[in-house]
Amino acid sequence: MDFSWTDEQEIWRKTARDFAQKKIKPKVREIDTNKKIPEEIIKDMGKLGLLAPTASTEYGGAGVDWTMAAIAAEELGRADISLAIPVLYLVEAAWGFIFSQYGTEEAKKKYLPKITSGDAFCGIAVTEPEGGSDIVGAAKTKAEKKGKNWLLNGEKIFISGITESSKWGGIHLTLARTNPSKAHKGFSFFALPLKDNPNVKTTLFEDMGRMGISTGGFTMENVEIPENHLIGKFNRGFYYAMEGFSAARVLIGATCVGASEAAMELGIEHIKTRKAFGRPLGSFEGIQFPLAEHHCNIDAVKLQTYRAAWTMDKMYKENKATHHDVAIAAAIAKLRAPIYAFGVMNEVADWLGATGYTKEYPIEMGIRGVRSYSIGAEGTMNIMKIIIGRELLGKEFLPYK
Ligand SMILES: Cc1cc2nc3c(=O)[nH]c(=O)nc-3n(C[C@H](O)[C@H](O)[C@H](O)COP(=O)(O)OP(=O)(O)OC[C@H]3O[C@@H](n4cnc5c(N)ncnc54)[C@H](O)[C@@H]3O)c2cc1C
């Protein structure tokens, strides 16, 4: 066992950190207020290989593995504690990878180079109005063949990147029922462009946090897309979606680790200098004990996150792990990381006293942003527990068929 980074990983981390600390960190409040990530940041991320970095180099990706993808996610979370840029990064890294693995040549050539350069967006559209956790039971969106095209009808809701996709172009990987008589084996996955598509009507939600990236929904009324926009095999869409969610969950772990580290650094600086009763706050046991607890939590979830990334690399690079190994490792990281990140941010807000309740510090942006992950983005906390339970007990103990 070796916990050190390779030279390549160190260089990648340094590149991501230098960029994120110099170019992103000073702009986070502006991003949160203006509800928009500046175009030059997106373009610079593209130049550095930080957009859909896991996509194949053939289509403009950096072709990095999951450990490298997690390293960059951690650095982006450390710089943008609001988590807007980390969300954009991890959504494109996870779903750009799935598209790169299973998309058709024609569709990949059309969209991926633009996604990796920052000229188009790549998102995921699974959740529907009747429920996200039980998508198999709730999904109403249907796709059927019409001549050489696919015809889509239905509605998706709580979808990240609606404004980005509508303005920049790109695709949302969209899950639709293609065999209503089957459950998990009755879904297919499609690359759906939202921009300039008159039969797609979008809406936007006013979120509580991660304001730099939009969330909304869209309806599809007889939306026609070319045959080559089917991703992977017909009726295998549910499984590609689960594969992408595991990848996204690992990167959520890494962004939360980065944001937690940033919050902790801010808190430590404050408790070393701020005095009460004639002593620095940090000299009180009532401050040091939670400090130690939060440090242990971050350390634990960092190990869990990088073990999940390592398991992904074992599966994709060496074929020495299965999706079951990945699913449980990713669910553990996703279950713990947002909760621990929220815990440390909340604690640091206390240490800051009244200024912790102001916008002088970025902590309040972090608290608002990280709740998106514990409420539900990429699966709720209870769903993570169900996945872990299923892996420990077997599928016969699932609460549904
Ligand atoms: C900021 C944000 C961005 C998002 N972005 C996207 C996106 O880009 N694409 C996309 O497809 N989706 C996206 N989502 C949606 C997300 O995936 C769903 O919110 C999530 O899957 C939960 O679905 P739901 O909101 O319908 O809640 P529900 O499924 O209705 O769940 C409500 C509550 O019930 C609990 N629950 C459900 N079933 C069980 C059970 N069997 N046992 C115990 N408890 C249970 C859940 O844990 C949850 O607490 C996003 C969500 C958020 C908040």
Which residue among 130, 158, 375, 390 is best mutated to probe the pocket of ligand 1, counting the most ligand atoms within 8 A of its Cβ? Answer: 158
% helix, strand, coil for the chain, step of 5: 60, 15, 25
Does the beta carbon of 123 sit less than 6 angstroms from any atom of ligand 1? yes
**Domain 7-121, classified CATH 1.10.540.10, yes or no:** yes
Topology at the third CATH level for domain 237-397: Butyryl-CoA Dehydrogenase, subunit A; domain 3 (1.20.140)
pLDDT digits (tens, 9 = 90+) for 205-244: 999 999 999 999 999 999 999 999 999 999 999 999 999 9
Q: What is the pLDDT of residue 394?
A: 87
Does the beta carbon of 245 sit less than 6 angstroms from any atom of ligand 1? no
Q: How far is the CA of 354 from the centre of ligand 1 (A)?
A: 33
Beta strands 121-125 and 170-177, pairing class: parallel
Nearest CA to ligand 1 atom 30: 131
Q: How far is the CA of 277 from the centre of ligand 1 (A)?
A: 46
Domain ranges in the chain are 7-121, 122-231, 237-397
pLDDT digits (tens, 9 = 90+) for 377-386: 999 999 999 9
Q: What is the mean pLDDT of the chain?
A: 96
Q: What is the pLDDT of residue 4?
A: 95
277 CB-contact burial (10 Å; exposed 0-12 / middle 13-18 / buried 19+): exposed
Instruction: Look up residue 276 and give its two tokens.
Output: 């009460």
pLDDT digits (tens, 9 = 90+) for 292-313: 999 999 999 999 999 999 999 9
Residue 358 has pLDDT above 80, yes or no: yes
Q: How far is the CA of 98 from the centre of ligand 1 (A)?
A: 21
Q: What is the pLDDT of residue 400?
A: 66
Residue 125 alpha carbon, nearest atom of ligand 1: 11
Contact 62, 11 (CB under 8 A): no
- Helix (H/G/I), strand (E/B), else coil: 185: helix
Q: What is the pLDDT of residue 391?
A: 87
Mean pLDDT of 317-331: 96
Q: Which residues pair with 160 in a beta bridge?
A: 215
Q: What is the pLDDT of residue 398?
A: 77
pTM comes to: 0.97
Q: What is the pLDDT of residue 376?
A: 86
Q: Which residue has the tokens 């899950």?
A: 175
- Helix (H/G/I), strand (E/B), else coil: 334: helix
Q: How far is the CA of 146 from the centre of ligand 1 (A)?
A: 32
Contact 324, 394 (CB under 8 A): no
Does the beta carbon of 107 sit less than 6 angstroms from any atom of ligand 1? no
Q: What is the pLDDT of residue 6?
A: 97
Nearest CA to ligand 1 atom 49: 380
Instruction: Look up residue 31 and give its two tokens.
Output: 């991003």
Alpha-carbon Rg for the chain, nearest whole angstrom, is 21
Dihedral pair phi/psi, residue 160, rounded to 5°:
-75, 140
Dihedral pair phi/psi, residue 36, rounded to 5°:
-160, 135
If we measure between CA atoms, which residue out of 357, 163, 364, 366 comes closest to residue 257? 366
Instruction: Look up residue 173 and give its two tokens.
Output: 């990987």
Instruction: Look up residue 117 and give its two tokens.
Output: 């350069």
Calpha distance 271→286 (Å, rounded): 12
Residue 401 has pLDDT above 80, yes or no: no
pLDDT digits (tens, 9 = 90+) for 67-89: 999 999 999 999 999 999 999 99
CA distances from 302 to 87, 268, 345 (A): 18, 19, 16
pLDDT digits (tens, 9 = 90+) for 82-139: 999 999 999 999 999 999 999 999 999 999 999 999 999 999 999 999 989 999 889 9
Does the beta carbon of 351 sit less than 6 angstroms from any atom of ligand 1? no
What is the secondary structure of 269-313 as a DSSP string?
A: HHHHH-EETTEEGGGSHHHHHHHHHHHHHHHHHHHHHHHHHHHHH
Matching CATH topology for 7-121 and 122-231? no
Mean pLDDT of 344-361: 96
Q: Domain 122-231 sits in which CATH superfamily? A: Butyryl-CoA Dehydrogenase, subunit A, domain 2 (2.40.110.10)
- In degrees, to the nearest 5, what angle opens at C-alpha 370 toward C-alphas 368 and 374? 115
pLDDT digits (tens, 9 = 90+) for 147-165: 999 999 999 999 999 999 9
Dihedral pair phi/psi, residue 239, rounded to 5°:
-75, -35
Residue 1 has pLDDT above 90, yes or no: no
Residue 381 alpha carbon, nearest atom of ligand 1: 47
If we measure between CA atoms, which residue out of 153, 174, 155, 167 comes closest to residue 223? 153
Nearest CA to ligand 1 atom 48: 380
